[in-house]
Every structure is written in structure tokens, then in C-alpha cells.
Amino acid sequence: MERRRPRLAGCQQRLVKTPNVDVVLVIDTSSSMAPCIEQLKAHLRDLVRPMQGHVARVRFGVVALSASSAGGENLTYRVESLAGDWRATNAALYGPATQVTLLTEDSGKVLAFLDSLRVTGDEDNLLALDFALDYPFGPVADTKRVVALFSDEILENGVVGGAPLDSIPKIIEKLHARRIKLFCAVPFSDAAQQLGEANGAEIEAVQGDAGLSSVDFSALLGQMGKSISVASLQGALEERYSRALFRQDAWVEGAIPWSDSDRT
């Protein structure tokens, strides 16, 4: 007699689609990063290598930011991305220009960009983070969205002092609305702890006094890569969110459209 396999009611065979991953690296390029920037760039090469066998497609973007001011006046920013300087970055994010150059599967392009980074001035890491959160990520249904911030300074420090800290709740709202997983390698502080309250956020406390130069990047980035590969896709749709929390979409040549008080 032919034996038949039992049929399980209500069960269906499903094909699990291999997800895509979009990762935006946010790199503090202020002067304090000088002792560790080359080490950071060297180890990021390992992260940029395609995650073959784990994901269908990996795209990388980069936001590098530093700032300077003369006695609190004439505040200027140096923002760099794969699109170019702040003009090209703003056009790609907030203007009619194409967004293709912000994220790429070309690892060579990303590595060349990392090699070109130089450090100068002060930091403004929450502004840099907000640029990354506005990136044109792939659809939530099939894309893991990740933003990773690297800095040797506490988030409370920076060119405008602690003024941007009141924006952290709005940043967390945006992380949730866009279904973005946040990874931060920064010195521990109250602000970092607050950011760590975002769903799925991972904050790796680093030693600020010695910069990131004392960090075991192999272990740090290995943990980050593992976290990305095992993260589950979000079932919900992307929600409405506020773009350009610091009004960077309104930047014009030679003028930053806010005072310190505007940023609170």
C-alpha cells in the first residue's frame, strides 16, 4: 500500500525572499577625529564588502560632516556625500535632482570616497544624523534600513553646544516612522542613552578621551554586520515624517538659515 504524507491543514509552503540592505554611514570629520580617522576608514572597508549569501543587494551611502564658526558667528558646514558637497547633497535630498548618487552598490566608489575624507573644524553629529535619516532608502517591505554613526565626541558637544539636543525626540520619531535601525559608536552620555531608546537602536559606548583609536573595530563592525544580517524586515508601511529637522533643506550659498535659538 502506498503511504501518503500527512497533510497539515492551513499550512502553506512559503518562499522567503532574501532582503536588500541600505546602510548609510555617518562619519564625524571634525579635528578631534584625527587620531582615529584612518583606522576607522580602514576598518569600514570590511563592512563595505558585499554580504554575499546573506542579502540580495547592499547599497551604501555616506554622510561626512564638520563645522566651523568664528566666535559663534558665521557658522559654516562642510557636508560631503557620494553626491558631492553640501550643494549637491541638498539638491539630491531636498531638490529636484536625481537621488541615484546618494546610495550605490559600487563598493569601489564608496572606498574611494572614504579615502578622500579629511578632518577639520568642529562636529554637529545630530545634524549629520538627520541628513542620513532623509536618505531615499529602498521600500520597507524588502529593505533593511540602517544608519551607523561614528564619532569620538559625546553628542552634547559640537559647534552649537547642547542646543540640538531637544531634537532627539523628533529624531527618534523619524527613526520609528521610517523603520530605520540605528547603530552608534560614540562616547556614552545622556544624549546617547536617550537615542538608545529608539526601537532596535544599538549604542556602542567608546572611549572619548583616546578617540576611536582605542576601539577594536574588527569586533565592533563584526557585531554591527551580524546585527544587520539578523534584523527582521518591518511589516508595517513607512509613516509620515518630518524632513530636514534642522532646516538644512533651506540652506543657500553663504548663509545658514538659523540662529542657535532656532535649533532648540
Q: What is the pLDDT of residues 139-198, one digit of tens each?
A: 998 898 999 999 999 998 888 776 678 899 999 999 999 999 999 989 999 999 999 999
φ, ψ of residue 147 in degrees (nearest 5): -125, 130
7-47 pLDDT, tens per residue? 434 444 344 456 788 999 999 999 989 988 888 888 888 77
Q: Is residue 14 part of a domain?
A: no
Q: Is residue 77 part of a domain?
A: no
Q: Is residue 248 part of a domain?
A: no
Tell me which residue range forms the domain holding 49: 20-67+100-238
Q: Which string of b and e fits 10-30 if b means at least 16 CB within 10 Å?
A: eeeeeeeeebbbbbbbbbbbb
For the chain, what is the domain count? Answer: 1
| Most confident segment among 3-7, 57-61, 221-225 | 57-61
- Give the integer Cα–Cα distance in Å for 122 and 77: 9
Prediction pTM value: 0.85
> Among 168, 176, 166, 182, which Cα is nearest to 132's?
182
User: What confidence score (pLDDT) does residue 70 get?
Assistant: 62
Asked if 126 and 164 touch (Cβ cutoff 8 Å), the reply is yes
177-191 pLDDT, tens per residue? 999 999 998 999 999
- Give the integer Cα–Cα distance in Å for 233 and 200: 12
**Alpha carbon of 150 to those of 3, 20, 29, 100, 155: distances in Å?**
60, 23, 9, 24, 11
User: What confidence score (pLDDT) does residue 208 get?
Assistant: 60
User: What confidence score (pLDDT) does residue 234 get?
Assistant: 59
Joined together, the cell numbers standing for residue 16 give 522567503
Q: Tell me, what CATH number does 136's domain have?
A: 3.40.50.410
Distance in angstroms between the alpha carbons of the first and the last residue of the chain? 79
Mean pLDDT of the chain: 80
**Higher pLDDT pick, 226 / 10:** 226
Element (H, E) at 108: helix 107-116
